[in-house]
């Protein structure tokens, strides 16, 4: 008798969607943050972000816009509903995992090494705007984690651009740009510490 070894796309999508719903329901029923985190990881895997990742995967499969937009919507919805305290079981997953997934997608999209150069500026501008909004939200709302995560990833993206541009300009230019940038950043941190 013939036995099929592979699932078709519709069957796989049904399994993934039902796993998200089942895990979310279990988290709510048992009031478990651990199961809530697993539900968020399952939801995040629907946008191609998972623990099993290979470099270049997002660019090769054109999944980057879906990853960024999906995680932005989830984080925005959570940010709007955080004041209701209904999503306590999903708090850790939504604040940490979704923020890291969103920041990773924005970092890849705004990288000077990203293959689709036309979208790089749009991703970079959205990254800077979203980081600014998240930092302001960090100050005025109880939502602290996304601002910190986005700020850290934005810093790495800026360093990547500085290195990329300075290497295009030559060794002396590279040394001047990187040294002065790190000096200004140290001064900025010194001002914040006071």
pLDDT at 126: 94
Q: How many domains does the chain have?
A: 1
pLDDT at 129: 94
The domain of 56 spans: 9-151
- Residue 63, domain member (yes or no): yes
pLDDT, tens only, 52-103: 555 555 555 577 888 888 889 988 888 877 756 667 888 888 899 999 999 9
pLDDT, tens only, 111-161: 888 766 678 888 989 999 999 998 888 888 888 889 889 988 998 898 888
Helix axes 33-45, 64-81, angle to 10 degrees: 150
- Residue 176, domain member (yes or no): no
d(CA 180, CA 171): 14
pLDDT at 138: 83
Per-residue burial over 2-15, b if 16 or more Cβ lie within 10 Å, else e, is: eeeeeeeeeeeeee
- Residue 157, domain member (yes or no): no
pLDDT, tens only, 8-33: 656 656 666 678 888 888 888 888 88
């Amino acid at each position: 008798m013939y036995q099929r070894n592979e699932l078709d796309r519709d069957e796989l999508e049904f399994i993934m969607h039902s796993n998200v719903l089942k895990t979310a329901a279990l988290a709510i029923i048992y009031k478990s943050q651990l199961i809530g985190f697993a539900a968020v990881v399952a939801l995040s895997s629907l946008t191609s972000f998972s623990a099993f990742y290979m470099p270049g995967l997002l660019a090769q499969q054109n999944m980057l816009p879906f990853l960024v937009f999906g995680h932005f919507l989830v984080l925005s919805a959570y940010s709007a509903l955080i004041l209701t305290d209904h999503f306590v079981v999903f708090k850790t997953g939504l604040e940490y995992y979704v923020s890291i997934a969103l920041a990773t997608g924005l970092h890849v999209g705004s990288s000077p090494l990203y293959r689709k150069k036309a979208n790089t500026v749009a991703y970079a501008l959205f990254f800077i705007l979203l980081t600014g909004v998240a930092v302001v939200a960090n100050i005025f709302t109880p939502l602290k984690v996304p601002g910190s995560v986005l700020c850290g990833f934005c810093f790495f993206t800026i360093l990547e651009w500085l290195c990329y541009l300075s290497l295009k300009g030559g060794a002396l230019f590279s040394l001047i740009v990187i040294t002065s940038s790190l000096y200004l950043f140290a001064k900025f941190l010194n001002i914040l510490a006071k």
